[in-house]
Each structure stands twice: as structure tokens, then as C-alpha cells.
Amino acid sequence: MPKCSVCGREFREDQLLRCYDCGRAYCEECAPRTIKELGVCPDCEEVFEAEEDYWGWE
């Protein structure tokens, strides 16, 4: 069974939220705001923001 990358508890696949970029899994309790709103974990969001700043994307 897949595990939450934060708390380590096992869940069914349909109970986990995954970052679409890196694939980390989060349970509902551990899921950060960015996973729920944007579909990416905080680490991947930082990368996207840095790229936006560098390339001037909006």
C-alpha cells in the first residue's frame, strides 16, 4: 500500500493526493495547501515560482 510522504501511514491509492510534478503522496491530514489548490507540493511550487521570476512568466 502507498504511504503518505509526511506521516508515513499507509492509505489506499484513492485516499492520497499526489504532486503531479514529483509524485510525492500526501494524506488529507498532511496535504499542504498547494497540493489541494494547485496540485503541486511546496517544493515544486518554489521551483515554478523561481522559473516564473527568471523568465518573466505571469
Q: Confirm whether 32 is domain-assigned.
A: yes
Q: Nearest-CA neighbor of 33 among 24, 23, 43, 41?
A: 41
Q: Confirm whether 1 is domain-assigned.
A: no
- Domain of residue 25 covers 13-55
Q: What is the pLDDT of residue 58?
A: 67
pTM beyond 0.85: no
Number of domains in the chain: 1
Q: What is the pLDDT of residue 18?
A: 96
Q: Nearest-CA neighbor of 10 among 24, 25, 32, 21?
A: 25
Q: Confirm whether 6 is domain-assigned.
A: no
Q: Confirm whether 5 is domain-assigned.
A: no
Q: Confirm whether 47 is domain-assigned.
A: yes
Q: Confirm whether 51 is domain-assigned.
A: yes
CA separation for the pair 25, 33 (Å, rounded) = 14
For 15, the 3-state DSSP assignment is: helix
In which residue ranges of the chain is pLDDT below 50?
A: none
